[in-house]
């Protein structure tokens, strides 16, 4: 394919090294040179973020200064409605009809993919590149097992030479920390190990996550 677009979405509340290492590992396996971070405004599957969109965006922009793999796409932050992945992918597909479109998710998201809004349409729009997580064993319900049987590939090149339709389970570093646990650590007045230095400095400067989370 002449164009490859890779996306990784989330609330990033806050962004942490678990996100960055896992996605970097997956990107290296596929040979991606750019991943667009998609911070959402209103997540459809979880409670709202603890800090504002402006703060979450600022932390991501700090990360992008130190990690050239990443850039930020603000389109979901600019919506006043829940950030449904399928709607974002439709927009990217409309903008780039022939591109290889790769959406990066965690193993936990793959396991619950059949609960997503209009989930059967996802692989008609993109590929799924799945990061492993240490706290999330790979046991799938029958629907996801059938989806993997039809769409899984072990060849990373398939995600770049076709526009959509494949699932690749990437070999990434295990993530044993969550944003929720990091917020709790910050609320207790401690400095978590998994925050990028610039993000930790920003959180301290703006006194974020001080209330119990």
Q: What is the dihedral of CA 201, 134, 101, 87, to 10 degrees?
A: -80
Nearest to 211 by CA among 182, 179, 186, 193: 186
Tell me the residue ranges of DSSP E strands in the chain.
4-10, 35-39, 70-72, 100-106, 127-131, 167-169
pLDDT of residue 124: 98
Fold of 4-177: Rossmann fold (3.40.50)
- How confident is the prediction along the chain (213 residues), in pLDDT tens digits per residue? 579 999 999 999 999 999 999 999 999 999 999 999 999 987 776 667 889 999 999 999 999 999 999 999 999 999 888 889 999 999 999 999 999 999 999 998 999 999 999 999 999 999 999 998 655 567 899 999 999 999 999 999 999 999 999 999 998 987 677 888 899 999 998 988 889 999 999 999 999 998 765
Backbone torsions φ then ψ of 10, nearest 5 degrees = 165, 175
pTM of the model: 0.94
pLDDT of residue 203: 96
**Distances in Å between the alpha carbon of 211 and those of 64, 145, 160, 185?**
27, 41, 44, 11
- CB-CB neighbours of 130 under 10 Å: 25
pLDDT of residue 41: 83
CA 14/CA 192 separation, integer angstroms: 11
131 and 110 Cβ atoms separated by less than 8 Å = no
CA 186/CA 16 separation, integer angstroms: 13
Backbone torsions φ then ψ of 132, nearest 5 degrees = -75, 155
pLDDT of residue 38: 97
Tell me the residue ranges of DSSP E strands in 64-115.
70-72, 100-106
Sequence ranges of the domains in the chain:
4-177
Contacts of 84 (CB under 8 A, 6+ apart): 44, 116, 117, 118
pLDDT of residue 137: 61
Q: Would you call 7 helix, strand, or coil by DSSP?
A: strand
pLDDT of residue 119: 97
């Amino acid at each position: 394919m002449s164009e490859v677009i890779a996306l990784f979405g989330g609330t990033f509340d806050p962004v942490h090294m678990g996100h960055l290492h896992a996605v970097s590992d997956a990107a290296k396996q596929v040979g991606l040179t750019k991943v667009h971070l998609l911070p959402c405004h209103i997540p459809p599957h979880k409670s709202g973020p603890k800090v504002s969109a402006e703060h979450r965006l600022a932390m991501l922009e700090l990360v992008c200064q130190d990690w050239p793999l990443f850039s930020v796409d603000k389109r979901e932050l600019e919506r006043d409605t829940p950030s449904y992945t399928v709607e974002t992918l439709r927009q990217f597909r409309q903008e780039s009809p022939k591109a290889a479109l790769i959406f990066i998710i965690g193993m936990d998201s793959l396991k619950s993919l059949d609960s997503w809004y209009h989930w059967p349409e996802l692989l008609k729009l993109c590929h799924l590149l799945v990061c492993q997580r240490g706290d999330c064993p790979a046991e799938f319900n029958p629907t996801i097992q059938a989806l993997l049987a039809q769409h899984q590939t072990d060849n990373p090149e398939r995600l770049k030479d076709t526009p959509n339709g494949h699932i690749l389970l990437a070999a990434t570093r295990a993530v044993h920390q969550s944003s929720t646990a990091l917020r709790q650590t910050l609320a207790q007045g401690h400095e978590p190990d998994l925050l990028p230095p610039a993000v930790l400095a920003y959180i301290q400067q703006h006194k974020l996550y001080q209330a119990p989370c």
